[in-house]
Amino acid sequence: GLALEHAAVECKADREIVWASTLEGIRWCPEEFDDAADEWKRNRDFVLAAVKVNPDLLCYRYENEQRLAERISGDIWDREHGMGNIQPEDEARVWESYRHRLHYDPDRDDADDSEDEFWRPLKGDLAFMLDVVRARGTDLQRAKRTLRGCRELVFEAVRQDSVALEFATRALRDDPDLQPERVRRNRVAGPGVAAPTVQARLVQLPDGSLEVDLACLDGKTAKVDFAAGATVGDLASAAVRQFQVPRRLVHLLVVGEVGRPVVVKPLEAGRPLVAHVPGDC
């Protein structure tokens, strides 16, 4: 930031201080990114940190017409920033109006024709875009079209903001597992998400019901019973309740058919629990 201009020489030579100062400048003005050192602009950690402090960094280079539409659409700005002046029954109308102003086409790869050489590969980087949409779901629109057709990325975007589903490719918009209400009920944490890990060991009883032993890495344990038709999602929800998980998400390790823990992904929440019962039970 500007304060660094008046700092002592030793401070200007301190990489951590300069890094933090540069990010603080980007927080208030995305154009500050252009003034960052070239080596940092090629550094994935720095770029990701910059996007996290100011998600607008992903869109400020967009063509003028789209940027103007985003800036002047005050009704959507208020909605996205939680100003609360739009009634729920008006949200669909406002959103459609917003999309019309942007001439948005979810199956068009805007990233290819409006971005410079630096941003283009990042918007096609799944790991990078996962971190981006977890910070602001609607930034799914900044991803390359191929990633907007990735169920894992769309799921994480919708989990952060249900509006993000509108930016998925048309083929995914009717996917049952990506509908906002189902995503909201899904308690399985995705890879890289900060959440406790719970191991589940399943035993199927003669009547078809399931007995599950749950264990957290911190030593807490619990026993839960499920009907024969229970799903992995039911197991995750039970784990959240049993261990009173604050963020209501857990990483699940289910002892699978081969006898060792299997990592469950969020989009597997609808899978029947019996599919994980060891074969000799």
User: How far is 164 from 112, CA to CA, in rounded Å?
Assistant: 20
DSSP element (H, E) containing 197: strand 197-204
Query: Which of 185, 207, 229 corresponds to the end of one domain?
Result: 185
- Cβ–Cβ under 8 Å, residues 109 and 145: yes
Asked if residue 191 is part of any domain, the answer here is no
For 105, 113, 142, the CA distances from 62, given in Å and listed in that order, are 15, 10, 10
Q: Do residue 219 and residue 148 come from a single domain?
A: no
Asked if residue 190 is part of any domain, the answer here is no
CATH code, domain carrying 210? 3.10.20
Q: Do residue 163 and residue 201 come from a single domain?
A: no
Q: Do residue 265 and residue 178 come from a single domain?
A: no
Number of domains in the chain: 2
- Cβ–Cβ under 8 Å, residues 223 and 211: yes
* Chain centroid, CA 87 distance in Å: 26
Give the predicted TM-score (pTM) of the model.
0.67
Other CB atoms within 10 Å distance of the CB of residue 152: 15
For residue range 53-108, what is the model confidence (pLDDT) as tens digits? 777 666 554 433 344 344 334 433 444 444 334 445 544 544 444 444 444 555 55
Q: Domain span at residue 269?
A: 197-276
Q: Do residue 99 and residue 26 come from a single domain?
A: yes
For residue range 156-208, what is the model confidence (pLDDT) as tens digits? 999 999 989 989 999 999 999 999 999 999 999 999 899 999 999 988 899 99
Asked if residue 202 is part of any domain, the answer here is yes
Other CB atoms within 10 Å distance of the CB of residue 86: 15
